[in-house]
Chain A
């Protein structure tokens, strides 16, 4: 019998670019959030002032206080969206409570919402050709228009900063994959350990025949994008926990650690915190502590990362979050899908524009770390409802692969991204344990394979057919 030749896992040069999200060096002096808004406005205003002359050459740029009625000009400032349904702490103290619904809606939009532009000198209400549903508080834009006699600013055109510049990708010879998974929710009711074990076995190469193993040997990294544990709410609602229950609080984390140790023994893993993980609440969430992962942190392939997370693999830039920024945009604005929110954050050059307003954020005094200075090649967001992907192209030949990662505990799907010369290629592996129980093959359902020529689904053998399903 021929001896199977051992397959070696590919390696990729990794560098972690998370220093800008570290809060370790910051000292809280009692400051408020005005400083973040100031640095954001200052930074974006420099960018917009550089862009405006090429788009609208002859118009003067003024401040809000320097507006003259009827004169065409350009204003640069931060948007504030006045929302009727936005929950306010003062509603609890309002005398008439009948108008306020007790059940909070998921989306706080209302037809009466209006936008206001604010800079250091003043505010002005906006009217005209600006789509209120598309913008949120905290976005810095340039507006072309004129002041009306009613004191509003009638907008003719909106200028966003657009996609930031991107370093060009060098072409590479070999395929390498990155696996993104999020929403494992170990410890919740929807968690199925068999599914997670199947994923681990597939990624570590313990499943499948040579074909599947060769795919698995091309995986260079696994990124876990948040919500890996789910601690039962009855332990964290402020009531004292009985001593017999105390050991059960940490059970989900221990279980996660055991399973991660298998993964980490085989390939590098980046662990990001999410909104349900034991990390700080406000963005940027700091890396989960090593003591939580007593088994996995002994390996040098385990790296605990911040949320948002930025890294580089073989000169491909990755940037992503665990979903809080996009979920917040979803509550306060409207778009046809989550990818459009992601696209907007790139065009506004800011990962989380709602950050101090409705999303928890650290009150920085001298920087805003969520500003996107260079365009990533892959932009991912975790803990979304479904898998979606698109290739976004910018005016200066930027190409960004946008990926929305579904929650693993609900969908059983992880995303494999081909991270090399053609970042437009994206496979999704859906690992579902089937009804029959022979444990010889895995079910690897390749749903889509976006080749450069378009959406031609073909399987690994190059034939143009949907899939080869081998049931487990």
Chain B
């Protein structure tokens, strides 16, 4: 392909969330508005509230740290997939649908991401924008 800069989409976006769990935990208002929006839109399921706070939900126990790190990694990878411009707009479609659309259009999204996207999980900005 002859798109210039196709390899470094990341350079478009200076913000990189290294600790997605910590970022989510320090934004309680984000979670509240998501829940309110989820109640208002009858299309939305309870899933958005769940994925904003993965750390508190899975935080119990000794092995919690490693699982939490894994969760954060997965969240970060999922959010980068959301923000990746190559695959088109992320709002309004669930991550799994977006992945499937990208595959159908021949964009070859990495299959590892499909494992991350459970069905009905919308993108980062769903309910917030």
Contacts and interface: CB of A to CB of B under 8 A. Distances in A.
A352 to B, nearest CB: 20
Interface string B26-44: 0000000000000001011
Contacts of B1: 49
A30 interface: yes
Contacts of B105: 39, 42-43
Contacts of A29: 43, 92-94
Interface string B47-89: 0000000000000000000000000000000000000011011
B4 interface: yes
Contacts of A28: 43
Interface string A12-48: 0000000000000000111110110011001100100
Nearest to B106: A46
Interface of A: 28-32, 34-35, 38-39, 42-43, 46, 49, 60-63, 65-66, 120-121, 363, 365-366
A49 B106 CA distance: 14
Given A365-B97, A365-B101, A35 B92 contact: yes
Helix, strand, loop or mixed for chain B's interface? loop
Given A30-B44, A34-B92, A366-B100, 8 more contacts: A28-B43, A29-B92, A29-B93, A35-B92, A46-B106, A63-B4, A120-B86, A366-B93
A66 B85 contact: no
Contacts of B14: none
Contacts of B101: 39, 365-366
Interface size class of chain B, counting residues whose CB lies under 8 Å from the partner chain: 20 to 34
Which of A31, A32, A43 has most B Cβ within 10 Å? A31
27 contacts: A29-B94, A31-B91, A31-B93, A32-B91, A32-B92, A34-B88, A34-B91, A35-B93, A38-B88, A38-B89, A39-B88, A42-B88, A46-B106, A60-B2, A60-B4, A61-B2, A61-B3, A62-B3, A63-B5, A65-B5, A66-B5, A120-B88, A121-B12, A121-B85, A365-B97, A366-B101, A366-B104
